[in-house]
Amino acid sequence: MTTRLARTVPWMTVAFVAALLIPVVGTRFYTSVATDVLILGLFATSLNLLLGTTGLVSFGHAAYFAIGAYVCAIAMKTYDVPFALAFPLAGVASGVAALVFGFFCVRLTKIYFAMLTLAFAQIVWAICFKWNDVTGGEQGFNNVPYPDLGWMEALPGLASMRTGELYFYLTLVLVSLCLYILRRITNSPFGRILTTIRENPERAEFVGIDVRRFELAAFVIAGLFAGLAGALFGIFNRGVFPDFGYWAKSAEVLIMVILGGMGQFFGPLVGAFTLVALNQQITSYTEYWPLVLGLLLIILLYAFPAGILGTAADLVKALRGRRNA
């Protein structure tokens, strides 16, 4: 019975509809948390195209998040570009940056690759930190305007919504669209070639795959979607700060991916949710959140290396196996 249920229920549609109800049922606080989770979930999922699918460990993924956030915010505030243009522009800018940095990174392997991604990210951070005239430097780029969401009030059920709630809906639709595209990419023949590279780059190479080119393509796509996430986050946060590109941010998104499970497409989203929720809960009890996070990670890495969703999937599989036996 449960197996049939698991197969026939369109879980993604259910999740989408449930998310639609959050502003209706929940408080403003929950809507805000949900927006946060969605955006960081997209950010983490974009990283997982490198980590889980291609087997590349990037320690500098925050760079593309930051570039997207700054480009969108600066375009909207300084140059009055409408969101509909600034948003894709942010993705393109991050994608181009990923193309330039990635060109060098994919020439190295393993830890050297990871270190170079970190080095480039620190350069991006330093530029954001110091380029006062454009980025606002250390003080950040503040008062990022919301996009014009007036048209959304004409939609059924949204007439009396606040801007923050409308922005949640906009985020929900855009993130869902991005996740859909990323999933299609992961399951495409292109994605399968990335899987062969993860399994064994040398073998992939002598089968005839130009490994570096495919790694670069994955790097650019991951950077592009990280940039889109950054663009959404800058507006949500009402400001963009150099911290967005700092190595700690890169570590945070890596933790989300590992926490949720990099072997599952929706693992990073679950990881983002868990990290945000835990952060909210634990910081209300103690100021030693990093300590709790550290302990949590240790337990996770030893006991559940497949992450939350990976462990859950293994459990379901085991239960089904027992039933069928």
Partner 1 sequence: MTAPLLDVRDIHTSYGRSRALFGVSLAVPKGACVCLLGRNGVGKTTTMRSIMGLTPASSGQIIWKGEEITRRRPFEIARAGIGFVPEDRRVFADLDVLENLEVGGRAAARPGPWTVDAVFDLFPKLRELSRRRSGFLSGGEQQMLTIGRTLMGNPELLLLDEPSEGLAPLVVETLLEQVSRLKAQGLTILLAEQGLHFSLALADHVYVLQKGAVRYSGPSSALRDDPKLRDDLLALASPVD
Query: Considering the complex, what minimum distance in angstroms separates the CB of residue 277 from partner 1?
Result: 31
In 237-260, which residue ranges form alpha helices assigned H by DSSP?
247-260
Closer Cβ to partner 1, 195 or 279, answer by number: 195
Q: DSSP letter for 56, please.
A: -
Query: Considering the complex, what minimum distance in angstroms separates the CB of residue 304 from partner 1?
Result: 20
**Residue 322 token pair:** 């027992």
Residue type, 282: I
Closer Cβ to partner 1, 196 or 274, answer by number: 196
Query: Considering the complex, what minimum distance in angstroms separates the CB of residue 91 from partner 1?
Result: 27
Tell me how far apart the 2 most distant CA atoms of the chain are, in Å: 68
Residue type, 170: L
Closer Cβ to partner 1, 28 or 317, answer by number: 317
Query: CB-based contacts of 125: which residues, under 8 Å, 6+ apart?
Result: 62, 63, 66, 242, 245, 246, 247
198 touches 26 (CB < 8 A): no
DSSP for 105-135, written as a single string:
HTTS-HHHHHHHHHHHHHHHHHHHHH-HHHH
Closer Cβ to partner 1, 192 or 323, answer by number: 192
Query: Considering the complex, what minimum distance in angstroms separates the CB of residue 258 from partner 1?
Result: 18
Query: Considering the complex, what minimum distance in angstroms separates the CB of residue 104 from partner 1?
Result: 17
125 touches 242 (CB < 8 A): yes
Query: Considering the complex, what minimum distance in angstroms separates the CB of residue 299 from partner 1?
Result: 27
Closer Cβ to partner 1, 35 or 264, answer by number: 264
DSSP for 162-204, written as a single string:
-HHHHHHHHHHHHHHHHHHHHHHHHHSHHHHHHHHHHH-HHHH
Closer Cβ to partner 1, 155 or 316, answer by number: 316
Q: DSSP letter for 55, please.
A: -
245 touches 9 (CB < 8 A): no
Closer Cβ to partner 1, 205 or 243, answer by number: 205
**Residue 120 token pair:** 């480039």
**Residue 146 token pair:** 């919301």
137 touches 131 (CB < 8 A): yes
Query: Considering the complex, what minimum distance in angstroms separates the CB of residue 200 from partner 1?
Result: 7
Closer Cβ to partner 1, 165 or 215, answer by number: 215
Closer Cβ to partner 1, 209 or 278, answer by number: 209
Query: Considering the complex, what minimum distance in angstroms separates the CB of residue 136 from partner 1?
Result: 45
Question: CA angle, 294 as apex, 293 and 296 as ends, to 5°?
Answer: 65
Query: Considering the complex, what minimum distance in angstroms separates the CB of residue 315 from partner 1?
Result: 19
**Footprint on this chain of partner 1 (rule: CB under 8 A):** 189, 192-193, 195-196, 199-200, 202-211
